[in-house]
Amino acid sequence: MTCVSGARLRAHLDTPDHAIDGHLAQCAACAQRLAGVRGAARFAARSIADLDAGAGGAVDVDAALARVAPATGAGPASRRLRIPTAIAAGVMVLALVAALVVTPTGRQAAASFLSSFRSERIQVVTFDPRDPQAAFGALSDIVEVDAAELDAGQQREVDDLAAAGAISGFDASPVSWLPDGAMLEGVQASAPSTVRLTFGRERAPELPAALDGARLVVSVPGTVASMYDVDGAMLVVAESAQLRVDAEGADLGQIREYLLSRPEVPTDLARQLLAIDDWTTTLPIPVPVDEVVWQDTTVAGRPGLMLQDTMGSGLLWHDGERIRAIGAEGLDVDALRRVADGVG
């Protein structure tokens, strides 16, 4: 009998192959190889078994099923930006939330009856989500929100980029390069919408008289997000039009001073917002410290941000006309950059 292959020796460990017993008894070389194979197999077995000690316990299957299929109680739910929320498209949403909640606090436009903000660039501001002072949501309590069009701004599944364009109000940019094996999984789009925030003393008694009745009109842009599957991992390419905020009936400088003095805005965040040079064109991106690693970078020739968290990495940049974001699980940044270079 000729010497035994490594694969057969390995299989012999799991299912004894008596046909090779005789050869192993006579061939020192094969016996030695078997010992090596056995040693490596035992080492791997011990190492991988030990992973159980630090892994999870019992799971609640019904609760998990309810989470992924809340509407039908059984059917597969739309992925609805579950992972993208934490990375690329989530950054987009973050930007919009920032604009709705934080941006007005950082705008020092000229003192005029009608002042406006138009996003042209981005800049990170950081905050500690564990800071009890960071209760941005409570800011909405001091204004009356007219969000009749907000439903139109909800993301929805569409068939293709053409359909997305009909909803978002702009033609989504094609992507000229994608990693090997990337398959389009779905396209989501949202329509432009307008949110009006009106300040009044009935909600905030300490409001300065000059701000009573003042209004911020936030034009939330449409968005398009294309989701790809890359060998089991998610890649998202998203974009939105520019975001615009108009102030009516008051001086934005006064609005800003008032909002930055509110206890809901952490002191350090207020300081960072005050330090932004060009209030009228810079969109602040709030990033929770310790949860997201970020750094300034150049993306597709434009100033942008690289963000990484435990779920993936993303690039966010503003090319003058569009806010763009690309994010992925597990894809290296060089690959993300290559995708970014091919957008538009």
Partner 1 sequence: MDATGATGAAVTNDRFADVFRRRYAELVRLAARVTGDAMEAEDVAQEALTRLSTHQVLDRPDDEIAAWLRRITINASFNRLRSRSRSTDRMQRSAAAERPLRDADRTGPQLAQVVRAEERALVRAALAQLPERQRTCLLLRHSGYRYTEIAAAVGIATGSVGVLLTRGEQAFRRHYEEMQ
Residue numbers of the site for partner 1 (CB under 8 A)?
A: 6-11, 14, 36-37, 39-41, 43-45, 47-57, 59, 61-62, 64-65, 67-69, 72-77, 79, 82-83, 185-186, 229, 231-234, 290, 292-293, 308-313, 329-330
Q: How far is the CB of 272 from partner 1 (least distance, A)?
A: 20
- 78 or 242, CB closer to partner 1? 78
- 53 or 209, CB closer to partner 1? 53
- 72 or 277, CB closer to partner 1? 72
Q: How distant, in Å, are the alpha carbons of 5, 6, 10, 36, 98 from that of 26?
A: 16, 17, 18, 17, 75
Centroid of chain to Cα 320: 21
Tell me the C-alpha distance between 189 and 21, whole Å: 65
Q: How distant, in Å, are the alpha carbons of 15, 70, 124, 185, 309 from that of 88?
A: 48, 24, 15, 16, 11
- 47 or 202, CB closer to partner 1? 47
Q: How far is the CB of 286 from partner 1 (least distance, A)?
A: 18
Q: How far is the CB of 36 from partner 1 (least distance, A)?
A: 8
Length of the chain: 344
- 3 or 152, CB closer to partner 1? 3
Q: How far is the CB of 88 from partner 1 (least distance, A)?
A: 13
Contacts of 219 (CB under 8 A, 6+ apart): 192, 194, 243, 244, 245, 246
Would you give the DSSP letter of residue 13? H
Q: How far is the CB of 263 from partner 1 (least distance, A)?
A: 30
Q: How far is the CB of 335 from partner 1 (least distance, A)?
A: 12
Angle, vertex CA 126, rays to CA 244 and CA 108, nearest 5: 40
- 63 or 209, CB closer to partner 1? 63
Tell me the C-alpha distance between 323 and 303, whole Å: 11
- 234 or 237, CB closer to partner 1? 234
Place of tokens 């398959």: 183
Tell me the C-alpha distance between 219 and 128, whole Å: 28
Q: Which two tokens mark 146?
A: 């007219």
- 54 or 263, CB closer to partner 1? 54
| Rg from Cα positions in the chain | 28
Determine the residue type at 162: A
Query: Could you tell me which of 116, 108, 32, 86 has the C-alpha nearest to residue 287?
Result: 86
Q: How far is the CB of 65 from partner 1 (least distance, A)?
A: 5
Q: How far is the CB of 234 from partner 1 (least distance, A)?
A: 8
Are 113 and 243 spatial neighbours (Cβ–Cβ below 8 Å)? no
Tell me the C-alpha distance between 233 and 287, whole Å: 24
